[in-house]
Structures are given as structure tokens and as C-alpha cells.
Amino acid sequence: DAKTTQPTSMDCAEGRAANLPCNHSTISGNEYVYWYRQIHSQGPQYIIHGLKNNETNEMASLIITEDRKSSTLILPHATLRDTAVYYCIVRVAGADYKLSFGAGTTVTVRA
Amino acid sequence: GAVVSQHPSWVICKSGTSVKIECRSLDFQATTMFWYRQFPKQSLMLMATSNEGSKATYEQGVEKDKFLINHASLTLSTLTVTSAHPEDSSFYICSAGRLAGKETQYFGPGTRLLVL
């Protein structure tokens, strides 16, 4: 699986959009970009994933650059409950494939 | 949908005893389940991949005789920590692979183990 690079931490203001970057310059053609988050002392929560097109769901939007070497997760209106560690993971699609977690980005939403 | 439960949510045991942790997919079937371990201030580390009806595949450095995994049905996998020691104290998390729909993994809430 391709390696990803994320900032260690970032702060954002409640009610504002939070933009979380992820670099994955060695991504292969059949690898997807997955985003999970882990709120303190809980199991990770699936957020969104995509291959090359931008994706949006009820939680977030995923913007993938045309060359697929980087992506941005957007939380449109951050709330205090969005404070968590966010993990960007690149791997082939499929439920049977393992996920390799890096250090992620610690996002702190401030009132 | 896609709910995964774990039981117990936390457990305290004496050194030398065995502890069993259950992982269930409540509203979908999962041929593959995964077990992770997380130490304080660290990321999740995959321990093993559990396939229904077959032996689990362990990651390098994980003792298969110490961490027994059984995946007896499409909705249940168990992890047994045998002869637990204080260094086994950790946060254990399972995930289940959902084949239909998003084809991704969904995680349980985790089990916190403290070995005294």
C-alpha cells in the first residue's frame, strides 16, 4: 500500500470548514484514498473514500487532485464533536484488505 | 447499518489469566474480521486477519499462541489473550469487512484491557 503524509496537528474554529490535507505521491492506479477518524477512546469511524472523482457524503467531502498524488478532506462546518485523529489511508478497494494506520492528523476544533 | 459491537468494553484481570473478547457484526455478514491493538498515544497496529472457517493470519511479531483468534461464523470473531501479563494491557479493536455497498471496514468500539 502507498504511504501517506499528513500534518501532525491542526486547529480549526467551530462552524468553519476544516480542510485536512494528505499527500500520497506513490499511489497506484488501483488504490483508493480512504479517510477514517478516531475520537478519543473509541474505535475508528469510516468517513469517506474515493478513487479519482471528488466524493461527498453526509459527513464530508473528498477532493482528489487530477494526478491523484494528494487529496483534501473537507469537514464543511466543524463542530466540537469533530475533534479527533483523522487518518488518510491508501489501499486497494475491498472489504477483505487490511488497513495500515499512520500517525494521522490530530484535529482540535475550538469554540 | 454497518454496526460492529465488542464485548466486554473494558476488563481488568490478574496476571496469568486468560481473557476473551468478542467482536460481532450486528447487521451484516463479514467473511473477514481484523484485530488491532493500540497503546496510549500510538496509532492502531494490526495484529491479525480473521477469516470465517479458517485459521487467522498473524502479523509479524504477534504471537499466535498467545493471541488466539476464532472466527466461527459470519458475524462473530473472538480474540483470547492467554496468560495475560501487564505488558498486554492495551486497547483492542476489531473491524469487520462489509462486502456489499462501500466495501470497506467498520470498527467496533474497542475493549480496554488492564492486566494487574
- What is the tens place of the pLDDT at every residue in A70-97? 999 999 999 999 999 999 999 887 757 7
pLDDT of residue A102: 92
Q: Decide if pLDDT at A104 tops 70.
A: yes
Say what the pLDDT of residue B98 is: 76
Task: Among A96, A100, A105, pick the best mutation site for testing chain B contact (most B Cβ within 10 A).
Answer: A96
pLDDT score of B100: 60
Checking if the pLDDT of A2 tops 70, the result is no
Share of chain A above pLDDT 90, in %: 83
Contacts of A49 in chain B (CB under 8 A): 102, 104
To which residue does cell 464485548 refer? B7
Angle at CA A12, nearest 5°, toward A8 and A14? 145
Q: Which of B2, B34, B109 sits opposite A98 (nearest CB)?
A: B34
What pLDDT shows up at residue A73? Answer: 98
Work out the burial of residue A107: count CB atoms within 10 Å of its CB; fewer than 13 is exposed, 13-18 middle, 19 or more buried. Answer: buried
A103·B104 Cβ contact <8 A: no
Give residue B66's pLDDT: 96
Q: Which of B43, B93, B102 sits opposite A43 (nearest CB)?
A: B93
Q: Are strands B90-97 and B32-38 parallel, antiparallel or unpaired?
A: antiparallel
The beta-carbon neighbor of B110 closest among A43, A95, A100 is: A43
d(CA B18, CA B28) in angstroms, rounded, equals 29
Instruction: Verify whether the Cβ–Cβ distance A44 to B98 is below 8 Å.
Output: no
pLDDT digits (tens, 9 = 90+) for B65-85: 999 999 888 899 999 999 999
